[in-house]
Amino acid sequence: MAQVVIFNGVDISTLNPHNFHLKNDYIDNLLSTAFLIFPKLKSIFGNTSVRIEKAFLSASYVRNNFTTITDNLLAHTKGLAVEFTWEGFDNDSATQVALHLYDAIKEPVLIIIKTFSNRLYVRRNVKEKKILEYNSTNEKRVIRIDKLED
């Protein structure tokens, strides 16, 4: 069977690397999340690949492998979050990618630049549209935030 490639370096096996059993809602969320994010990166990355660091995780995997469980981590168990990186990741390029995604994605998303691990985290199904940056001492910097009306 042919592999469905969503973006350079992004396919179903990278989004679900542990081959967890996916319920239909989670499959829909995972694919919707991937197609929401990665095609928008073509103008920035061209043919450069991105590397998925964290995508779909089962709830039992999270319980068994993480000591601190946050809402942002749990979003991975529903297919609503993805964390990725690329060769040459630095604060400037991460900020540019985050701002590009922020402007290109019309729904509320949380984008976190994790400078301590060279990763960009994107989560759907949130109440505010914002970009945050966390450094190695876990200090938070707000880069952009839009309050949404109820």
Give the SS3 label for residue 88: coil
Question: Checking DSSP bridges between strand 50-54 and strand 140-146, what pairing results, if any?
Answer: unpaired
- What are the extents of the domains in the chain? 5-146
pLDDT attached to residue 1 = 43
For 23-75, write each residue's pLDDT tens digit: 678 888 888 999 999 999 888 888 888 999 999 898 999 999 999 999 999 99
| Predicted TM-score of the model (pTM) | 0.88
CA distances from 68 to 72, 124, 135 (A): 11, 21, 18
* Second-level CATH architecture of 5-146: 2-Layer Sandwich (3.30)
